[in-house]
Structure 1
Amino acid sequence: MASSSRFRNQIQPYEIPFRPGLELKAAWTWGAAGALGLMGGLALGMPLMPLLTTSSIAGFFAWNRYKIGHRYQQKLDALHQSAGHLWFISTDEAETHYRIAREKDAIWFGRGFRWTKHTAERMYYLLGPGAELVEPLETKQTTESGEFIGKVWIHALETERDILLPLDALKGQTLILGTTRAGKTRLYDLLISQAVERGESVIIIDPKGDKELAANAKKACERMGTPERFAYFHPAHPEDSCAIDVLGSWNRATGLASRIAALISAGGDSNSDPFISFGWRVMNNFIHGLLILGQKPTLKSLRTLVETNPTEFTLAVLKAYIQQNDPKPEILHSYLTAKNGKVAEDVPGQLAAYKKFYREVLSKTAASPELEGLLSDEEHDKEHFSKMIVSLTPLLAMLTSRPLDTLLSPDPTTFHGRILTAQRIIDQNLVTYIGLDTLSDSAVGQAIGSIIAADLASTAGDVYNYQIPKPINIFIDEGAEVLNQPIIQLLNKGGGALFRVFLATQTLSDIAARLNGSQQRANQVIGNTNNTIVLRIIDQNTQETQTRKFGKFPMSRMGTALGSGISPHPMDMNNGSYSESMNLVDTDLFPSSEFASLPALQYLAHFSGGTIIKGRIPIVRD
């Protein structure tokens, strides 16, 4: 008896998550039997109390069977009633959701539910033993052309509710993965509209130039009654475009040189290439030279210096610096006068005289490392110098050719449109759409994106160091096309300046390809994002990476065994056996292959803190 008791205690119950409500037939049978028995007994004049007792017992069993069967049938019906069509809501409905989220210091991510191990077990059942329950549904959920639109029943595994994520979680940065037409643009519309509603700065970097994304951002500003907050930048539409002075915001001149160096490095490490380091040094010296002359550094002025002989520029800077330090005229004149009594008038002669005066006299009391760097460049071997800065010339040419010469290096005296800087966007809480037009010219578009990203990264550092941070939302579509070291820095450290970066891409391989094929650098980008939102993805490597991120869980797996045999004893001709077992098997919380089956506008998200959400987002219509 004790052994039997221990055995019973080891038995673990296992409930099939989905099946038809077979108990409903028994419920109707019990109900009919109770009703017919009552009516028949009354017709035959039988005593009332026994009839009521038997009918009540039948009714109890009918109700008990109905409850169990109805529960199973409801779950099955929910799968078959799962929305295979898109979810549309009005602008008024959306703004109600936005307001509720804002009041709770949160952001609304549509509707959904927490993805738990119990949810995963239900999914695996329908992918395995219960596949016949959803196969008709999958055949039904296709377009008129026969295109499969996804396994819509996945979202019916649990009861959905509004998904609200605390705004603090967004400081951990967000990676959005999704193939073409999976819903990245609609997700951005949802997030951008809420940022506008909160009155925060928004910067949208769009390589493709999605007109609808720009239009929706503009409408969001208009709905708030602040249409002036919207700014539009697009090199293909210079007549409608504002100008962005990418070198207009800075606290340290070295930061301007770093923005140019970011163009050379593209996605690589800005310290790993001697050409990058040399290019940074040259830009830094030119920029400090312009500042000594009292001139504002621009991409156009830097291009001019790179493409021309810097001797005259060096002489002008040297003269200006010496005059700023009030040299004694008689001493300076003595250096400028040759042995024959003539004052040097040609450029080489004057340069030699001024350099000698600086090094022998002025450097003793007013040495300038910046000026000495410029002098060092001027004295550098010309052929070697030209080879080391060869990569600067095409990049600066790209960014200063028409119409970018006025859009990225605007002159306030001649440009009559709106001129922005990164700092101005932040100070005025603007909503700035930046189209890169990479479809028409990918090289120039990527260069624009890189210099703007470098400007933002530099400004984030200034905000962190010198200002009281306030939220700035940066949305980068097709992020692999503009990914560079400054963006990686924003992902890594921008949260301290309250920069919330949303980086969308189709595959993780795109990120590695942009970073010179470095998977290690790609992993750094992925590791710097605490939130990951996965829409439909079809790249196998991306699927497997996300499955590993979501982790595993111990899944209960039932096993059955049947056996039969023939006994040698004449009186016992055959025997049989049956056994059931249940084991715990480590299984992926979400199978990698099913990311390709997510319908459009549905996602699986891993948010900061480890919460996993299955959700869907609406299409907002006026």
Structure 2
Amino acid sequence: MFDNRLRPVFEFLPASVAMLSALALLVFPQDLFPIMPLLAWIVAALLGAWGLCRFLQGAAVIRYQTQLRQLPRYRLAPRQIPTSNSQLFLGLGFRWSQRHTQRLVEARHPDARRYLQHGLLFRGVRRLEQILDGAAGLRWLARMLRADAWWNPFRPSPAVGGDPLLHGVGAAEEAPVSMNLDERNGHTLVVGTTRVGKTREAEILVTQDIRRGETVVVIDPKGDLDLLMRCYAEAKRAGRLDTFQIIHLGFPEWSARYNPVGDFGRITEVASRTATQLPSAGNSAAFREFAWRFTNVVARALVGLGRRPDYRAIARHVTNIEPLLIDYYEWWLDKIMLGDWREAVQTIESNIEPKNLTLSHRGRDHYALALIRFANERGLYDPVADGLRSAFDYDKTYFDKLTASLLPLLEKLTSGPVGELLAPRYADLNDDRPILDWMRVIRENGIVYVGLDALSDPDVASAVGNSMFADLTSVAGRLYKHGDTQGLPQARSHRRAPCVVHADEFAELVGQEFIPLLNKAGGAGIQVTAYTQTTADIEAGIGDRAKAGQILGNFNTLLMLRVRNEHTARVLTEHLPRVRVFTKTAESRVTDNNEPDTPVDFISQNADRLMETDTEMLMPADVMALPKGQCFALLHGGHLYKLRMPLPGKDRCMPSGLDEIRTECLVRYAGCQQ
């Protein structure tokens, strides 16, 4: 039924009368009232209790109307963020129900407008502030009037925009809201448009994950320095700086190194991680498949020779296959031939006539051609050698066309300092920067911040991000089968802390590799929290609507901040039940009296008609009107909560700047080498 709080406050009058009567009974029990003293005390107590009750009811009405206009500040210093081993703190809020939908309907009625506006004094101060701000000598007074401090009774409303009614209808009920940590295996999606609080929510979640001692991986395409410094500050506060690693493509000189294709469970993963970055629409699919096959041939040959694949080695052998073919054929023939085969190969090489060569073999290395002929004449077969031979047989011009899309990508990934970062030289003893190993990170419960610097080069950022997801998926497969003690002598299995992956700007990272990470890696302890602006971004990133729906279906927990897309808002609202709300309609009737013999000329009636209507619990427009720092959340199997996140407070552990982080990293790297 009607909540009926948007009205004049009538409770104070009976409360005042009751309290004054109680006071009179206590002070003048016999002078004003013919009543026995004991009975006077009893009656006074009853009147005082009733008056206090009515006063509290009136105060609740005033507080409710005030919170509809402006919420109280909610600020938490990082050290005050609650941390639990069983619950994940999300913010301050309440569970949304039919009652709040009813209150929202009443608050948006035209008759309630006067209760939602600030008073004349507040509006006058705001007008005075604008006038003083234009006067050169009185700007200090204007700054005081708009100061956001406890001593300023006229401080302006925070610049968060949106509709304050959405949280005001339940602000009196708000309390800390948490989700069970067991639910994080179902993964979490945080959706919100630009600059509405996604990064702040990420900071709150990352803070708790670091303090719990979990493995934390933060992948940030844009390389947000505030998020980096938050991770550093929390690692320092938790005493975990020794396990904190930074990979930042924008600062390769002090970043840890990472080989995106150097660690794998199956050799085919190298080609998949490389070729996935290539376009696959239309005719490009055929070129992509060729690039995959050729990259796979190169990777198999490198592994067969005992070399670790990397982007630089792949790029070198894509442009010139002959050195790799020669190295592999020599290793292979040494392995299977008992006699001296080199003399026979030299004889074949000396008998090669350039004018008799096929068009595809002209200009090729004669020694490589002799090795191929030697193996063919003796009927020798090796799948890797045969793959190298088929690549060698391609016409150079035709081959360049087939790899036209692969070569530019590899060149981006291997150029400049970033190339040194993504293709580390494992034998270089003069480079103190560590090389990231995901299995080692998980074993040590490490903390990794990855800044991909997507604003400078989105192609490289996307390629590295996709490779990281593929790498983590491969690691999850090994964890499933062998645990985290595979390869460690005399190591016993133990309870491993979860690996929490925070993927900011998720749409820039999503690829084919992300689907198995979501729907299969939860059992291996990998928990993904993804942040994006719209669901359409995911569809654009993956390039397929069905796969985008598959990805969205794997997120069991949803936090939705303000969005600017109705389709995205409906991802939340279409999962909510419909509710019954009441509306009030004023009616006024006049009926003429047709009997001339009676003194009554007409009959009038005034009434309020209550009507019950079936409506959505939450409309998409409500989600699109959220203030900054507020969100709706689907938790605990579809229960709707309204949340607001705390503003950050001062942090003594926060670094003074990026130089402090750089210095600490270089000192730690040098210490590890010693």
Shorter-normalised TM range: 0.7 to 0.9
CA distance in 1 between counterparts of 2:601 and 2:367 reads 118
AA partner of residue 90 (structure 1): A
Aligned-pair CA distance for 1:51: 13
The reply to whether residue 399 of structure 1 matches residue 413 of structure 2 is yes
CA distance in 2 between counterparts of 1:587 and 1:339 reads 84
The reply to whether residue 609 of structure 1 matches residue 637 of structure 2 is yes
Does the Cα contact within 8 Å between 1:235 and 1:436 map onto a contact in 2? yes
Distance 1:131 1:307, change over 3 A: farther
AA partner of residue 430 (structure 1): G
Q: What does residue 278 of structure 1 align with?
A: 290
Aligned-pair CA distance for 1:611: 2.1
Distance 1:401 1:71, change over 3 A: same
What SS class does the counterpart of residue 244 from structure 1 fall into? coil
Q: What does residue 418 of structure 1 align with?
A: 434
Encode CA deviations 1:300-359: one digit per residue, 9 max, x unaligned: 000111122x244234323322322x32438997787559999999325413323415xx
What SS class does the counterpart of residue 467 from structure 1 fall into? helix
Q: What does residue 554 of structure 1 align with?
A: 580
AA partner of residue 453 (structure 2): D
Encode CA deviations 1:558-602: one digit per residue, 9 max, x unaligned: 445433221322235323455655444332322322334433322
1:407-556 correspondence to structure 2 within 5 Å? 407-414=421-428, 415-467=431-483, 470-516=497-543, 518-556=544-582
CA distance in 2 between counterparts of 1:72 and 1:120 reads 22
CA distance in 2 between counterparts of 1:270 and 1:164 reads 47
CA distance in 1 between counterparts of 2:177 and 2:523 reads 25
Aligned-pair CA distance for 1:605: 1.0
Of the structure 1 ranges 212-221 and 27-36, higher mean CA displacement relative to structure 2 is found in: 27-36
Distance 1:273 1:554, change over 3 A: farther
AA partner of residue 353 (structure 1): R
CA distance in 1 between counterparts of 2:318 and 2:506 reads 30
**Equivalent of 1:121, from 102, 125, 145?**
102
Encode CA deviations 1:442-477: one digit per residue, 9 max, x unaligned: 333333323323322332333233325641111121
Does the Cα contact within 8 Å between 1:23 and 1:66 map onto a contact in 2? no
Does the Cα contact within 8 Å between 1:88 and 1:620 map onto a contact in 2? yes
The reply to whether residue 28 of structure 1 matches residue 16 of structure 2 is yes
CA distance in 1 between counterparts of 2:34 and 2:401 reads 113
Does the Cα contact within 8 Å between 2:499 and 2:527 map onto a contact in 1? yes
CA distance in 1 between counterparts of 2:369 and 2:284 reads 39
The reply to whether residue 294 of structure 1 matches residue 286 of structure 2 is no
Does the Cα contact within 8 Å between 2:349 and 2:366 map onto a contact in 1? no
Does the Cα contact within 8 Å between 1:125 and 1:131 map onto a contact in 2? no
AA partner of residue 588 (structure 2): L
The reply to whether residue 178 of structure 1 matches residue 192 of structure 2 is yes
Encode CA deviations 1:77-121: one digit per residue, 9 max, x unaligned: 145258646533334423xx21xx12xx22111222212222222
Does the Cα contact within 8 Å between 2:462 and 2:509 map onto a contact in 1? yes
What SS class does the counterpart of residue 190 from structure 2 fall into? strand
Aligned-pair CA distance for 1:616: 2.2
Encode CA deviations 1:143-190: one digit per residue, 9 max, x unaligned: 869956444454341422222211111111111122333222221111
Q: What does residue 307 of structure 1 align with?
A: 319
**Equivalent of 2:590, from 540, 553, 564?**
564
Give the TM-score of the pair, scaled to structure 1. 0.84
AA partner of residue 113 (structure 1): F
AA partner of residue 405 (structure 1): G
Distance 1:385 1:16, change over 3 A: same
1:232-381 correspondence to structure 2 within 5 Å? 232-264=246-278, 273-308=285-320, 310-324=321-335, 326-329=336-339, 346-347=366-367, 349-357=369-377, 361-363=379-381, 368-380=382-394
The reply to whether residue 216 of structure 1 matches residue 226 of structure 2 is no
CA distance in 2 between counterparts of 1:47 and 1:257 reads 100
Q: What does residue 5 of structure 1 align with?
A: none
Of the structure 1 ranges 332-341 and 563-572, higher mean CA displacement relative to structure 2 is found in: 332-341
Aligned-pair CA distance for 1:32: 4.8
Does the Cα contact within 8 Å between 1:285 and 1:374 map onto a contact in 2? yes
Q: What does residue 9 of structure 1 align with?
A: none
Encode CA deviations 1:380-409: one digit per residue, 9 max, x unaligned: 455444333221111111111111221111
**Equivalent of 1:71, from 17, 32, 57?**
57
Does the Cα contact within 8 Å between 2:188 and 2:529 map onto a contact in 1? yes
Aligned-pair CA distance for 1:234: 1.6
Distance 1:576 1:78, change over 3 A: closer
What SS class does the counterpart of residue 373 from structure 1 fall into? helix
Distance 1:50 1:296, change over 3 A: closer
CA distance in 2 between counterparts of 1:62 and 1:317 reads 97
What SS class does the counterpart of residue 116 from structure 2 fall into? helix
CA distance in 2 between counterparts of 1:560 and 1:503 reads 49
AA partner of residue 573 (structure 2): T
The reply to whether residue 621 of structure 1 matches residue 650 of structure 2 is yes
Distance 1:77 1:145, change over 3 A: closer
CA distance in 1 between counterparts of 2:283 and 2:525 reads 26
Of the structure 1 ranges 469-478 and 59-68, higher mean CA displacement relative to structure 2 is found in: 59-68
AA partner of residue 575 (structure 1): I
AA partner of residue 329 (structure 1): G
Does the Cα contact within 8 Å between 1:34 and 1:56 map onto a contact in 2? no
CA distance in 2 between counterparts of 1:346 and 1:272 reads 34
CA distance in 1 between counterparts of 2:519 and 2:634 reads 18
**Equivalent of 2:112, from 112, 117, 130?**
130
AA partner of residue 303 (structure 1): A
Does the Cα contact within 8 Å between 1:23 and 1:69 map onto a contact in 2? yes
Aligned-pair CA distance for 1:260: 0.9
Does the Cα contact within 8 Å between 2:30 and 2:37 map onto a contact in 1? no
1:72-151 correspondence to structure 2 within 5 Å? 72-80=58-66, 84=71, 86-94=73-81, 97-98=82-83, 101-102=84-85, 105-128=86-109, 129-136=111-118, 147=159, 149-151=161-163
Aligned-pair CA distance for 1:420: 1.0
What SS class does the counterpart of residue 440 from structure 2 fall into? helix
Distance 1:111 1:146, change over 3 A: closer
Does the Cα contact within 8 Å between 1:109 and 1:163 map onto a contact in 2? yes
Distance 1:58 1:421, change over 3 A: closer
Aligned-pair CA distance for 1:283: 1.3
Percent identical: 28
AA partner of residue 220 (structure 1): E
What SS class does the counterpart of residue 418 from structure 1 fall into? coil
CA distance in 2 between counterparts of 1:62 and 1:412 reads 82
Aligned-pair CA distance for 1:278: 2.3
Encode CA deviations 1:28-63: one digit per residue, 9 max, x unaligned: 34555687799999557x74369979x988986785
Question: Aligned-residue CA RMSD in angstroms?
Answer: 3.7
AA partner of residue 319 (structure 1): E
Give the TM-score of the pair, scaled to structure 2. 0.78
Encode CA deviations 1:529-569: one digit per residue, 9 max, x unaligned: 11111223334443344332444323233445433221322
How many residues of Structure 1 are paired with residues of Structure 2 in the alignment?
591
Does the Cα contact within 8 Å between 1:287 and 1:297 map onto a contact in 2? yes
Distance 1:32 1:224, change over 3 A: closer
CA distance in 2 between counterparts of 1:112 and 1:43 reads 53
Does the Cα contact within 8 Å between 1:248 and 1:421 map onto a contact in 2? no
Does the Cα contact within 8 Å between 2:581 and 2:614 map onto a contact in 1? yes
Aligned-pair CA distance for 1:69: 5.9
CA distance in 1 between counterparts of 2:397 and 2:247 reads 39
What SS class does the counterpart of residue 135 from structure 1 fall into? coil
CA distance in 2 between counterparts of 1:270 and 1:71 reads 68
